[in-house]
Chains A and B, each alone.
Chain A
Amino acid sequence: MLSSKASCISHGQDSSYFLGWQFYEKNPFDVVKNPAGIIQMGLAENQLSFDLVESWLRKTPDAMGLKNKEGESVFRDLALFQDYHGMPAFKNELVEYMAKIRGNKVKFDPKNLVLAAGATSANETLIFCLADPGEAILLPTPYYPGFDRDLRWRTGVEIVPIHCSSSNGFRISMHALEEAYERAQKLNLKVKGVLITNPSNPLGTTMTRDELQNLITFAIHKNIHLISDEVFSGTVFDSPCFISIIEAAMDSNLERNADVLSRIHIVYSLSKDLGLPGFRVGMIYSNNQTVVAAATKMSSFGLVSSQTQYLLSCMLANKKFTSKYMKENQRRLKKRKEMLVSGLKRSGINCLKSNAGLFCWVDMRHLLSSNTFEAETDLWKKILCEVRLNISPGSSCHCSEPGWFRVCFANMNQSTLEVALRRIKGFVERSRLNYQQNMGGFSRRLLSNWVRKLSSADHREEHER
């Protein structure tokens, strides 16, 4: 009766990424009302710099009140504005902002920018433009769990993973690219492109120039596309400096620049840098005119509210604000990340060295009972139910090695992070103690009790509202 899309589960929402979220919803931490609740550390939101935006809003009431600089109402024009080419003033500001994030080392043409209702919409639209059902896109692992839905569900396109490993900091090697391509061929899947997230989610690292050059060379060689999801580009808070794919492509060492540029497409959004996921502002940037034309028409299915386009075009037009915001936001992200890293270190837990993003890629391999994904899931459940932290297990990000977790740091206040770190410390100490006791030949009964208590449903129910 319904379509297979409606009745199947390939929207990917049965993964632990979403299940942990559901658990949290039933028992959310609140410092006053529910101090024993689950702390949400699985949501990559930036809540650190709202005060800066709110201060700008207070000084600029007309932007909210739909009035122009002369105090005249622009309500009517905005109410009627549904042009899928997007508001020119807004696009002009966006490309300038994007260039600023890249240290003005590249310049963008607003005509090549297509607005979409969030990066979710932008990514899906790009896939509709670049691949037919049954074709494939290569993605380096680990990757954002949402891609399983965004890139595949309604498009019918497949994802083939490029396996990356901790042995080299999860960097993408030429070998891994070739291996993934061959795997796709063996599966009879025609590869149409590679999609990378740079800075990476969930790693929090920026790509090196070498990695980018490898990717470009690979794309040219295989005659495929390269999508660079740069939604976290404004969250680079530490060196090395962010290098955009466009910058790498402009490298004079590369021949056939126009050809290269026609196969590179960037996705951006204001959800992560500016912390405005609710406003649904995403975009595609491409030098390929056919892609721009098709994506523009497709954006009809997810246009950005003109009310929002207007507000944000006013905000981004204020260069003093954007400069101050970028600097201060990055400073706060760096500080918060360092707090997480040092806190974890005190518990004997290391993170992948990172310079961007709203999360750390945390190494808990030493806490696994065995080097398996089952053990990772057990550990994840313990952390969710006993430690009461919702973090994302590496398996939900298709990581090929068990024991890694993505832990967000920017979606809570400082004292909440302190609570979370204390809980982790307590958990690690208890685990160590129990391990020692176990190893010391303590009675089996006690161990069984402890194991039983940890995994019992009662324990969960106690905390559920």
Chain B
Amino acid sequence: MGLLSRKATCNSHGQDSSYFLGWQEYEKNPYDEVKNPRGIIQMGLAENQLSFDLLESWLAKNPDAAGFKRDGQSIFKELALFQDYHGLPAFKKALVDFMAEIRGNKVTFDPNRIVLTAGATSANETLMFCLAEQGDAFLLPTPYYPGFDRDLKWRTGVEIVPIECSSSNRFQITASALEEAYEQAQRKNLRVKGVLVTNPSNPLGTTMTRDELDLLVNFITDKEIHLISDEIYSGTVFSSPVFVSIVEVLKDRNLENTQVWERVHIVYSLSKDLGLPGFRVGAIYSNDPIVVAAATKMSSFGLVSSQTQYLLSAMLSDKKFTKEYIAKNHKRLRKRQSKLVAGLEKAGIGCLESNAGLFCWVDMRHLLSSDTFEAEMELWKRIVYDVKLNISPGSSCHCSEPGWFRVCFANMSEDTLTLAMQRLKSFVGSTASNDRSHQEMKNSRRKFRTKWVFRLSFQSFHDREQDER
């Protein structure tokens, strides 16, 4: 296949991971309350579907924003022609104000330092192109968003070296884990250019503590490397502790306008907070003017539609709306997360305590047949095919311990979540009883066990075919 590039023919787009395979299974047999009540419930998609009514109500009251009008006058021509990679000034202003509002106005952002991109996917890749060469590495704490394997590595040629985090301290980043990751990169002859963290974390749903943030600042200062803080979930922090952004820490430590200040870059997007992934609105914020300049030019490869910039600049400029939206959205997310946590608890399943995000980090270690990733895969397949819930196994997030799963709660109706919890409860119940009878059979004749095993697997095979559309 010498005719195409290596990028086109290789697999480092990472799309053979279970993250995407589970998605495919769901696509073949999607749950529908009416049309397909026994289908697979999608719990692997971190979407926020809880607050559309608020957006739709705003749109209904402000038709000019979508109608290419400003003060009653048509500005269609102006928008149709607007392809300036510096972005629509009114939109950038509204966006930085919104970002500040999310951070309790404890920090302010300069619209001249923000670069618009077609989604955070584009923002993250662009930052890699700006900060690292092919063959360099970025350190990422595990578990991390599976999409990073593609977004950060595929076309850039940059490597990811994991910072292993563990459940022993709630998956927080430690100084030793950072050092260990750095040394591992060195052993692999990889030059480390920076650390990338997601805060609030995907898939953990937790916000970083001030200690962790201090640790990171110290580490990148010491190693003279960059820090990218992917804060796309910053607007989904629904309970305490309050969100502390990396810029707040730098400010509090009087590090503004120092060298380290210029090596911290934020990624943001409207896909999670506002629930608008289809509109492709992402952003890079940086205090390094060279990064801003280079990223701005690179944004040519993924500009935000001017039609969309205009609509959202009007929406985000409405401070009454943004205030109300942020508050109501938080409330709904909190309520929904509690429902998931309670439902899992009834099934005897615990979660990592979380205060943000659109998902929980669920502990199913006790349901594994053995403390291995093979067992995690088995469990995952059973949950997808038998329980018919598409959840994300920790291994797809590069978690170093088997048995953890990311389960989304904001991309479905409350009834659907209730049903999902019921299914899970039944499954756990039947697994437990199966385990008991399994134990008994072990003590009795082997023949029974063989028949039972055969029957179960035949049944699940049969079920799959029945449900495939």
**A contacts, CB < 8 Å to B:** 1-7, 11, 13, 45, 47, 50, 53-54, 57, 61, 64-66, 73, 75-76, 78-82, 117-118, 120-121, 124, 128-133, 149-150, 153-154, 192, 223-225, 263, 271, 275-280, 290-291, 294-295, 297-298, 300-308, 311
Contact = CB atoms under 8 A, between A and B. Distances in A.
B72 interface: no
B74 interface: yes
A13 B297 contact: yes
Given A279-B80, A297-B13, A305-B304, A3 B129 contact: yes
Contact of A298 (B1, B119, B130, B155): B155
Contacts, number: 215
Contacts of B452: none
Contacts of B9: 290, 294
Nearest to A279: B305
A308 B130 contact: no
A47 B82 CA distance: 12
B63 A65 contact: yes
Interface in B124-145: 125, 129-134, 136
Contacts of A50: 76-77, 80
B118 interface: yes
A129 B298 contact: no
Contacts of B150: 297, 300
B305 A300 contact: no
Interface stretch (B271-279, B338-346, B377-385): B271-279
Interface of B: 1, 3-9, 13, 15, 47, 49, 52, 55-56, 59, 63, 66-68, 74, 76-77, 79-83, 118-119, 121-122, 125, 129-134, 136, 150-151, 154-155, 224, 226, 263, 271, 275-280, 288, 290-291, 294-295, 297-298, 300-308, 311
Given A5-B130, A154-B129, A223-B3, 15 more contacts: A2-B288, A6-B131, A50-B80, A53-B80, A64-B66, A80-B49, A80-B277, A80-B278, A118-B303, A121-B301, A278-B82, A280-B305, A290-B8, A291-B8, A294-B9
Majority SS at the chain B contact face: helix
23 contacts: A2-B291, A6-B294, A50-B80, A65-B67, A79-B52, A80-B49, A117-B305, A118-B83, A120-B301, A124-B301, A128-B7, A130-B8, A154-B298, A280-B118, A290-B9, A291-B8, A294-B13, A297-B13, A297-B15, A301-B121, A301-B151, A306-B278, A307-B66
A73 B122 CA distance: 29
Given A2-B291, A47-B77, A129-B7, A304 B305 contact: yes
Contact of A133 (B122, B131, B134, B295): B134
Contacts of A223: 3
A362 B199 CA distance: 56
A117 B303 contact: yes
Contacts of A290: 1, 4, 8-9
A304 B155 contact: no
Contacts of B66: 64-66, 307
Closest 9 CB pairs of A and B: A278-B306, A306-B278, A302-B302, A6-B294, A305-B305, A294-B8, A278-B82, A81-B278, A129-B8
Contacts of B131: 2-3, 6
Contacts of B290: 2, 6-7
B300 A131 contact: no
Contacts of B80: 50, 53, 275-279
